[in-house]
Amino acid sequence: MLLKNILINKVISILCIIILLTSLIALFIGNNTKAASIDDELKEFEKYPGYVELLKKLKESHPNWTFEILKTGLKWPEVIIAESTGYHGRNVVPKSWNSAYKCACGKVVDASWTCASTATVAYYMDPRNSLNEDYIFQFEKLTLGEVSDEELEQLKKGVETILSDCNYMQGNIKYYDSKGKEQTINKTYSQVIIEAAQQYNVTPYHLASRIRQEQGTGSGSAMIKGQYKGYEGLYNYFNVGAFGSTTQRIMESGLTNARDYGWTDPEKAIKGGASVISNGYTSQGQDTLYLEKFDVDKTNGLYSHQYMTNVSASKTEGEQIREAYRDVGMLTKDSKIIFKIPVYEDMPEMQAQIPGTEQMVTEDVKTNVDKVEVKAGKGTDFTTIATLNKDEKILRIELDNNKDSNGKAWDKVVLKDGTKGYIMRDYLTKFNIEKPLNEEYIVTAYTNFRNGPGTTSTTILKLLSPGQIVTVVEKDRYKSVDKEDWYRVKTADGIYGYVGTGYIALYDPNTSSVDKVKVVCTDGLNIRKEPSSNKSVQILKTVPENTILTRTEKDVKSSDTKYIWDKVTTNGGIVGYVARQDPETKKAWIEPINENNPNPNEEDPKEDPKEDPKVEGNGFKIIDNNLVCEPNITVENIKSVAKEATIKDGNTTKTSGNLATGWKITVGEKTYSIVVKGDVNGDGNISSADYVRIKNYILKKVTLTQEQKSASDATGDGATSSADYVRIKNYILKKANITI
């Protein structure tokens, strides 16, 4: 019996060891399987620098989160140019933000917003800057899908949290009808938002945060009060179709839109707005906040179909959603959320950096006293890194926007060896560069254009594209700064900065493989993304007659053999392809420029050319040879800023009424063609006749003059396409705006 018990105990011990070993092996395999699962999920992100590390960190905290990759197929430099200097005003920042966030073009979009700088656009567009707990939710997929009753209750709490400081969204719905009488709907605002979300397959958090973004906190705007004079009993919570250069124009356009939709109470307005968001964006491939802001999904074309112009909007709204999730306890390890993360080709290793707080400059200064101390930071308490004597010449790259406790400003400077430091502004005197060079160089690869020499402690002003021609004004001053020599250059738009010498080459028209060409096609010329006239190929920009381009490649191979294709770069950095000549008549559309005598038929001017007159106001400005206007700009509007202007329809001088495409305006000695965006047929009104003409043009049933082509570009993407047809149609229905 004893032997039997001993044997039984041994068997039990062996079994326990086997079970323990099996458990350890299973645990080891399970952990490895989990790790492999994470790696498998993120494998597609590996070729894009910086993504995997950031996503793994999020995955560790939230193992049930799912990260889908969106391969845009777009090159990062091209995207940033398209969203910034390629079309000024496509992205904007508040005018109250400091100058580093603002584009050097100075374009003011309306009373409160101005064009964003390239550095700003790059920072907000770089997905890696938002792959963290705070900002990841701008990539959350906005489609709702099936949810349980328990999940709906949780969503309702989240909606209430997002809108907690919006007094106008609390409790049961009360509103004013068209007669000014107060009415009640026996539903809460959060109930209506949940119903709208289910009906249109949009997450309720997106709807709530969008209302908060559009109407603000506190008591909200007049757009949702139902008491705006002349528009009583109308509501527009999402500001659908609300646009204009003044508050009055914005209010009236938004409430006219509400009237057309029949949004006569808050419930109709909220559900109607949700329908617009769903039909126009989330069901069309733009199903994240990021994609609503930055149109990099090719479903609806590129760049033009963007819900918001505020460059930081998607990041801000994503943060609001994250806070709502946190407050209702949804940021646990068990939460299941799907994120759609875009990636781009040719992304830099380093994430785009947030702009600084100071005003960017590139200017020569000299010290005006002896023993000037250069500090490592702003203020006398910082370490002295150098001492300069009087009249020593250095470079200033930042103007301090904030003064120290003694009321002194400290500007950032670059010393002769490339070292950066700070000097009290009182000790510096600005002077013009001595004996500037005037040598043309061509950019050979995408590169950053900086306010000073070196890649550290300088700011990116813009991106330069291969083929752009710049003027070198100074050489050999800064060598081996961050392992690169640097030249000071001036771009075609007159901005000064620095470029590494490894990215530019001397341009000699006699020996260079590139040349300058002038557009001689009277109807203008389309620059296409690919060397093809196929309708599916995107038109990047349409340039008018006399535009100068840099041709970087001749006789590009293409399956479209009807045309001879050349690769070109515009002064603004857009790279694309143009057809060289009319395939039927062989008449040239571009001609090489004779560098020695670019205008052989013109005599040398006997006196300095006069500056072009300035005609600019809310909704109109001179662009190239045209006065480009938004709809409903009147003769009186023009006269208010240019009293001496003469406006003619043929031989008839116009003194009042709406401008029309094809009219002429003469200011001083200069005459411009008038282009009214959306007014394709030139009758001064925007109607169905205009979008029908676009449709017929696309179908090759009619032709358009150059002015009509410019007027048809309602989306501002430089092309005439179905997107313009839709934009004008939606403008007439008060669903969209047309701006310049």
What 8-state DSSP symbol labels residue 370?
S
Reference 399, options 726, 100, 144; nearest CA is 100
What CA dihedral angle connects 313, 316, 318 and 323, to 10 degrees? -160
d(CA 593, CA 378): 50
Domain identity same for 105 and 175: no
With b meaning 16 or more CB within 10 Å and e meaning fewer, what string describes 472-495? bbbeebbeebeebebbbbbbeeeb
- Stated as kind and residue range, the H or E segment containing 253 is helix 247-261
477-508 pLDDT tens trace: 999 999 999 999 999 888 899 999 999 999 99
Are 672 and 627 contacting, i.e. CB atoms less than 8 angstroms apart? yes
In a shared domain, residues 535 and 587:
yes
Last residue of a domain, one of 130, 154, 175: 130
602 pLDDT above the threshold of 50: no
* CATH number for the domain that contains residue 425: 2.30.30.40
Question: Would 321 be classed as within a structural domain?
Answer: no
C-alpha–C-alpha distance, residues 302 and 300, integer Å: 7
Q: Who's near 511: CB < 8 A, 6+ residues apart? A: none
Q: Give the Cα separation of 191 and 271 in Å (integer).
A: 11
Q: Are residues 382 and 420 in the same domain?
A: yes
Q: Which of 519, 524, 521 shows the shortest CA–CA distance to 582? A: 521
Could you tell me the maximum CA-CA distance found in the chain, to the nearest angstrom? 128
Provide the domain count of the chain: 6
User: Does any domain span residue 61?
Assistant: yes
Would you mind telling me the total number of residues written for the chain in this entry? 740
**Last-in-domain residue among 408, 431, 454:** 431
pLDDT value at 269 more than 60: yes
User: Would the pLDDT of 49 be above 80?
Assistant: yes
User: What is the distance between the alpha carbons of residues 696 and 51, in angstroms, rounded to a whole number?
Assistant: 46
| 411 and 542 inside one domain | no
Q: Do residues 443 and 425 share a domain?
A: no
Residues 483 and 522 in one domain: no
Contact 659, 647 (CB under 8 A): yes
Name the domain boundary from 234, 261, 287: 287
CATH of the domain at 703: 1.10.1330.10
CA distance 646 to 662: 14
Lowest mean pLDDT among 110-114, 334-338, 594-598, 632-636: 594-598
The percentage of the chain sitting over the pLDDT mark of 90, rounded to a whole number, equals 54
Whether residue 679 is found in the same domain as residue 555: no
Residues 76 and 178 reside in one and the same domain:
no
- Please check whether residues 62 and 163 belong to one and the same domain: no
Is the pTM above the cut of 0.85?
A: no
Q: Are residues 569 and 523 in the same domain?
A: yes
- DSSP string spanning 266-318? HHHHHHHHHHHHHHHTGGGT--SHHHHHS---TBTBSSS--S--BTTHHHHHH
Q: Which of 344, 243, 262, 333 is nearest to 302 (CA)?
A: 344
CA angle 164, 169, 170 (to 5 degrees): 70
Q: Is residue 738 part of a domain?
A: no
pLDDT of residue 8: 42
549 in a domain, yes or no? yes
Strands (E), 446-573: 447-450, 460-464, 469-481, 484-490, 496-500, 504-506, 515-519, 525-528, 539-543, 548-553, 565-569
Q: What is the pLDDT of residues 91-103, one digit of tens each?
A: 999 998 988 899 8
Displacement of CA 713 from its chain's centroid (Å) = 18
CA contacts within 13 A on the Cβ side of 53: 7
Do the domain assignments include residue 354? no
Q: Which domain holds residue 466?
A: 439-506
- 95 contacts: CB under 8 Å, gap ≥ 6: 108, 111, 112, 113, 114
Is residue 739 assigned to a domain? Answer: no
Residues in contact with 326: Cβ distance below 8 Å, sequence separation at least 6, in sequence order: none
> Of 460, 454, 470, which Cα lies nearest the Cα of 395?
454
Q: Are strands 515-519 and 548-553 parallel, antiparallel or unpaired?
A: antiparallel
Task: Answer whether residue 606 is part of any domain.
Answer: no
**pLDDT digit string (tens) for 212-258?**
888 988 999 999 999 999 999 999 999 988 877 678 888 998 999 89
Query: 532 and 627 share a domain?
Result: no
Query: Do 684 and 647 share a structural domain?
Result: yes
How would residue 692 be classed by pLDDT, with cut points 50, 70 and 90? confident
Is residue 598 one of the residues assigned to a domain? no
